[in-house]
Structure 1
Amino acid sequence: MTVKRITGAAAAATMVLSLGAAIAAPTAAMAAPAPCGTATQVRETLPNGTVWDMCWRMQTGAGLILEKVTTATKRNPTPVQILDNIRLAQLNVPYDHGGVEYNDVTEYGLGGSFAQTIAGDDCKGGSAREGSDGENPLKKRKLLCVSAEPSGLAYRASGEDKVYSKLGHDLVLRSIAQIGWYEYVTEYRFHDDGTVSARLGATGDLANDFSKPDTGWPIGKGAKDYETNHFHTAFWRVDFNIDGKGGEKVEQYDTKTDGKDGETGQAILKTSKTDIAKEGSFTKTNQRWWRVASPTKNTDGHLRSYELVTGPSDVYEAHPEMKPDVTFTQNQTCEKYATDNTDPQCANRTTVLDYAKDKQDLKDPIMWVRVGFHHVPRDEDQSPMPLHWQGFDLSPRDFTAVNPLVPDGRTNVNGSGN
């Protein structure tokens, strides 16, 4: 059984994104141009004063690529770089009946002719930005939506005579690509507290691929049309460059009981650090997390770092390179994709497991994050299909000495001496 892939308008579906406050296109007076080269700058200030600055471009394979990402806040007005670049590095889509399997990034691509022009409600309330799709450099289209969106309650604390309460906002960048029946939304959310969320959304239409009850789910009337279950396994390639200094180190933290009880009879939990000095692949377990730490420090003398925060993920276990949650490798320019890498400079190195097997020292680490979604179709997926999301967060850890959104009245709260 095969899945019919349509790459033209026949498979198109309308996508509605609910956007918040509009962001106007930047003007030359806002800031000096970022070092974007042939890419395009996005520089925006959120309502509470957090500034995000970055370059964006489209690539025929990976689609939306963000580079030179920096942030600044009212309390910390000097821009500090977080990321050198971030992009999707693969989207593997196998169907449960075993008949077909696609690598949508390397076989098709999220840029080029597959990149959709932003139109209609795609960017309602936001600003649609023009750029090249990566395939036709002289032709500009509206390919990126930039918007500010309320993110809910950022914090709340009760003082002796005052309640400190603040709503947060996100700077949101979105692009859309159509591959076959699916429409994929690449989204990055830059929160006003410094958190970065990377997400991939899927909408469009079901693939019209039908199988048996044990590999599909009945849609339509009765129980005769079993739309095939399938996986979406997405990889991101993340290259940090915290404060523009490089030389980050990777650390793993595990919290476990030491088998002893405290004074009140409760278990004693101890957190230990493991330095990851060489390339390797790792899997999430209970109370385990990773951070990428810069040699630079915040004003408290603590290493600036970003922590990987993983969410729900269904692992596709048929291929070993799909199993690890995260892989850290030494930066190599030819290692472009997490799987199906065909760069001739990377002979015999086609997957993240190949990249890591040499166990090189991590002097300039690349983080490959894998997030899986097992799509078991339902009646409600017809049609257009409601967006479903998969992704992860990069959370600042000791990037600043205190909450970057700290209100007046709490600026002196820092450690036990205050």
Structure 2
Amino acid sequence: MTNRKIAGTLALLTAAALGASVPSAARAAAPAPCSGSSTVKETLPNGTTWQLCWRIHDKAGLVLTQVYVSTKRNPQPVQVLDSIRLAQLHVPYDTGDMEFDDLTDIGMGGYALETLDGDDCKGGSARLGSDGSAEPAQRKVLCVSAEPAGLAYRAREESWGENGPEAGTLYSRQGHDLVLRTISKLSWYEYVTEFRLRDDGQISARLGATGDLAPGSEADAARGWPIGKGDAFKATMHYHNAFWRVDFNIAGKGGEKVQQYDTALDGRGEMAAKLKTTRTDIATEGTFTKVDQRWWRLASQASKNTDGHQRSYELVTGGNDRYQGHPETKPDVTFTEKNACEKYASGNASDPECPPNSRTVLDFVKDKQKLTDPVMWVRVGFHHVPRDEDQSPMPMHWQGFDLVPRDFTAMNPLTPDGRIGQNGNPEPAPEPEPSGVQPSNPQPSQG
């Protein structure tokens, strides 16, 4: 047994504080109970229900655990996540004279956690909770709301009439998100930790930044942007390198398999280039970088949808600035074997029962353990080049990623009644056209 495994066993009791859990073999299949104040169970207008537990940790801030989803067509709750939370916020300044690990240096909970007031939770419900400090106080710290998410889908059926194609039934529906957010004030910046749980099963993790630019941070033209009158004062450019720790537990089974997919040119077809997508199973710990046409998913080895396909979730990343100043901020995603000692992506605190050299995600993967219960660490960077409009208060800017269900259900969980028979079936053959009637402006199929 490796030292890390021994340390992980000894530190198991500390894991709950950060949303870690016992090994998958001991996990329950039903939603784990948590007290009424730390439970969120909300049904969105389209019939999707999300159920989860939440807590505030003094360093990590908002932690979601035991996340389950059920839908109108799939009413049995199915677990998605064991836990999800921030794992670090690294803020280095371009001048090289300032650098912070905000989670481990200050923390998103405790005195930094703001009591919700004003428009902080307009239209939602402000929940009481502990702020995670050494002497915890019950305050309104969590905002829970159901928010419109825009058009969820649109499809209009067509049929043929005497005069050509005719518009048929229109299927159109607005989507909704269950939104959970907290606000933490760290010096001049104010950070919004937000999780958006969509009615189609998608989970979005986001970090918003607002507040004010730090005063007195002057820089030259290559490292600062002029704000105020003329060029007398330049606000320093800097990075926000946010890390998240994501622990899946699909259908309460655990033991997901990590898979990477890459698509590349594969010759020429009759009309266009041929493309080939290949899968690589990631069996051991490692760090990985996003390139064009590359993505990852975590697939259950023990749970399938009603079509017989492995349930899984896909990682979808958006805008992402890679910070080159530290090796641990270069990988976009890191997969590690679960270990209770591995809490933060950088500045990982050493305690007596944990190896003293496990400081960053790069240390976590050095021994290349086999992945039997993987944890995913996602880094999303934002290079903040200040602008006049950042004062004051600073408009919110966001960074984050999406977890998108892939084969989690056999069909779109919002499928309307009129389309329920379309599961895997080709479009029905068109009816014979009346004599002499031709399609107007026929177009080739685009899939």
RMSD: 1.4
Q: Secondary structure at the match of 1:162?
A: strand
Give 1:35 shift.
1.6
TM-score where L is the length of structure 1: 0.90
Q: Secondary structure at the match of 1:169?
A: strand
C-alpha distance in 1 between matches for 2:388 and 2:246: 36
Give 1:213 shift.
1.0
What's 1:218 paired with? 226
Structure 1 residue identity aligned to 2:121: C
What's 1:350 paired with? 359
- Matched-pair identity in %: 65
Residues 109 and 51 (structure 1), Cα distance of their counterparts in 2 relative to 1, 3 Å cut? same
- Give 1:14-413 correspondences, 5 Å limit: 35-36=33-34, 40-136=38-134, 138-160=136-158, 161-208=168-215, 209-258=217-266, 260-264=267-271, 266-295=272-301, 296-344=303-351, 345-413=354-422
Gaps of 5+ in 1: 1-31
C-alpha distance in 2 between matches for 1:58 and 1:307: 27
My pick for the range that moved more, 342-351 or 112-121, is 342-351
Q: Secondary structure at the match of 1:348?
A: coil
The question of whether the paired residues in 1 share the 8 Å contact of 2:337 and 2:370 is answered with yes
1:186-222 superposed Cα distances (whole Å, 9 cap, x missing partner)? 0000010000000000000000111111110000000
C-alpha distance in 1 between matches for 2:233 and 2:135: 44
The question of whether the paired residues in 1 share the 8 Å contact of 2:37 and 2:128 is answered with no
Structure 2 residue identity aligned to 1:339: S
What's 1:21 paired with? none
Give 1:346 shift.
3.1
Q: Secondary structure at the match of 2:422?
A: coil
Residues 105 and 39 (structure 1), Cα distance of their counterparts in 2 relative to 1, 3 Å cut? farther
Residues 66 and 164 (structure 1), Cα distance of their counterparts in 2 relative to 1, 3 Å cut? same
Structure 1 residue identity aligned to 2:56: M
Q: Secondary structure at the match of 1:286?
A: coil
Residues 138 and 106 (structure 1), Cα distance of their counterparts in 2 relative to 1, 3 Å cut? closer
Give 1:132 shift.
0.3
C-alpha distance in 1 between matches for 2:345 and 2:37: 24
C-alpha distance in 2 between matches for 1:244 and 1:34: 10
The question of whether the paired residues in 1 share the 8 Å contact of 2:256 and 2:298 is answered with yes
Gaps of 5+ in 2: 1-29, 159-167, 428-447
C-alpha distance in 1 between matches for 2:260 and 2:246: 17
C-alpha distance in 2 between matches for 1:33 and 1:297: 19
User: If you compute each CA radius of gyration, which structure gives the higher value, 1 or 2?
Assistant: 2
The question of whether the paired residues in 1 share the 8 Å contact of 2:31 and 2:66 is answered with no
Give 1:329 shift.
0.2
Structure 2 residue identity aligned to 1:111: G
TM-score where L is the length of structure 2: 0.84
Residues 227 and 337 (structure 1), Cα distance of their counterparts in 2 relative to 1, 3 Å cut? same
My pick for the range that moved more, 154-163 or 80-89, is 154-163
Give 1:376 shift.
0.4
The question of whether the paired residues in 1 share the 8 Å contact of 2:31 and 2:79 is answered with no
C-alpha distance in 2 between matches for 1:94 and 1:342: 19
Q: Secondary structure at the match of 1:412?
A: helix
Give 1:261 shift.
1.0
Structure 1 residue identity aligned to 2:131: D
Structure 1 runs (4+) deviating above 4 angstroms are none
Give 1:263 shift.
2.2
Structure 1 residue identity aligned to 2:222: D
Structure 1 residue identity aligned to 2:67: V
C-alpha distance in 2 between matches for 1:201 and 1:254: 31
